[in-house]
């Protein structure tokens, strides 16, 4: 069931024009580009998509454009995180109505971690829709709320729609092992820009759901690994680890990714909506050096 939800799901940014308004042509081009890299699917309106900086109408429009451009054969996962359960249900139902094949939901912010409250939240969302809910375990995004191994296993046992986990709780490979020790129902995606993608696969991840401006690299690693060529996958991972590491720097990863997409000719502007941390000229020079040494900009889109 839901066998399309595996492999590489590239989490994409939301393109804006230089004046900060939604850039619909770039959004279409980004969707076409992402599909062309042979990823298994695409995730929108996550943290990288600046979902919390979009208006309700913009959320609707982004989802509409991406799903329409992608076509039925290319699955789209839509971020539907909301501070309240009712709001999350409304977002998730709407995403399904628009044609999403899955939704991604981070825990609602609580005063402290509460497994019973989180279980109630996720089960209510899953009961309200017919598509999978990718549970996002990403403590920094929700005020330090951590998903316990026991809760993750319990959710997967409760419904096949709750069996998918986007794991971004460091150290992720170790937690994958801990989860798999208590449950084989949980299907785990890695994240965090692919920083530990090779190790995540070794520990039992089914792929990664993450933002990275060179998704074709992740596809190559995954393809080799799943074909049994672990040495080949390792060689590719180690070759490109400098850009994977550099691009995922805290606070500036979004600005760096948008800058790279712009350099690749995928989006017209690298504009990030305020507030955000700008990237200085020295950091951009460091990026240029890595891109040049790895010959990553030899062809534009």
pLDDT tens digit sequence for 121-137: 999 999 999 999 999 99
The C-alpha atoms of residue 244 and residue 128 are separated, in whole angstroms, by 37
Q: Which residues contact 249 (CB under 8 A, 6 or more apart)?
A: 256
At 299 the pLDDT is 52
pLDDT for 301 beyond 50? no
Q: Give per-residue pLDDT as tens, 224-256.
A: 999 999 999 999 999 999 999 999 999 999 999
> Can you give the residue ranges of every domain in the chain?
7-233
Q: What is the pLDDT of residues 40-63, one digit of tens each?
A: 999 999 989 999 999 999 999 999
Mean pLDDT of the chain: 95
Is residue 167 pLDDT above 60, yes or no?
yes
- Which residue bears the tokens 């809910």? 133
Please tell me the CATH code under which domain 7-233 is placed. Answer: 3.20.20.70
Residues 98-123 have pLDDT tens digits of: 999 999 999 988 867 789 999 999 99
What pLDDT, on a 0 to 100 scale, did the predictor assign at position 168? 94
pLDDT for 146 equals 85
List phi, psi (to 5°) of 208.
-140, 145
| 142: phi then psi, degrees, rounded to nearest 5 | -130, 45
Using the Cα atoms of residue 137, residue 88, residue 250 and residue 269 in order, give the sign of their dihedral. positive
In DSSP terms, 136 is beta-bridged to 166
Residues 6+ positions from 229 with CB-CB distance below 8 Å: none
Residue-wise pLDDT tens digits, 154-164: 999 999 999 99
Mean pLDDT of 71-98: 96
Which is it for strands 7-11 and 133-137: parallel, antiparallel or unpaired? unpaired
pLDDT above 50 for 216? yes
142, pLDDT greater than 80: no
How much is the pLDDT for 298? Answer: 78
Q: What pLDDT does 71 receive?
A: 96
């Amino acid at each position: 069931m839901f066998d399309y939800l595996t492999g590489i799901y590239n989490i994409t940014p939301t393109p804006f024009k230089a004046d900060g308004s939604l850039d619909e042509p770039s959004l279409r081009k980004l969707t076409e580009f992402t599909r062309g890299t042979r990823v298994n699917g695409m995730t929108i309106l996550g943290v990288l998509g600046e979902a919390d900086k979009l208006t309700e109408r913009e959320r609707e429009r982004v989802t509409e454009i991406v799903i329409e451009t992608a076509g039925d054969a290319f699955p789209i996962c839509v971020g539907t995180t909301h501070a309240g359960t009712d709001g999350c249900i409304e977002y998730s139902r709407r995403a399904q109505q628009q044609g999403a094949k899955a939704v991604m939901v981070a825990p609602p912010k609580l005063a402290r971690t509460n497994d019973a409250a989180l279980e109630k939240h996720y089960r209510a969302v899953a009961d309200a829709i017919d598509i999978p809910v990718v549970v996002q375990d990403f403590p920094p995004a929700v005020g330090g709320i951590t998903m316990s191994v026991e809760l993750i296993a319990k959710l997967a046992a409760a419904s096949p729609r709750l069996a998918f986990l986007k794991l971004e709780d460091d150290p992720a490979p170790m937690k994958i092992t801990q989860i798999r020790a208590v449950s084989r129902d949980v299907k785990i995606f890695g994240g965090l820009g692919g920083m530990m993608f090779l190790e995540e696969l070794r520990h039992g991840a089914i792929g990664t759901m993450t933002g990275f401006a060179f998704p074709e690299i992740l596809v190559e690693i995954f393809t080799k690994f799943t074909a049994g060529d672990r040495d080949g996958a390792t060689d590719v991972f180690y070759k490109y680890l400098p850009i994977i590491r550099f691009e995922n720097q805290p606070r500036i990863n979004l600005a760096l990714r948008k800058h790279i997409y712009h350099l690749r000719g995928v989006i017209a502007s690298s504009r990030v909506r305020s507030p955000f941390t700008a990237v200085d000229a020295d950091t951009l020079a460091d990026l240029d050096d890595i891109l040049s040494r790895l010959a990553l900009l030899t062809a534009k889109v």
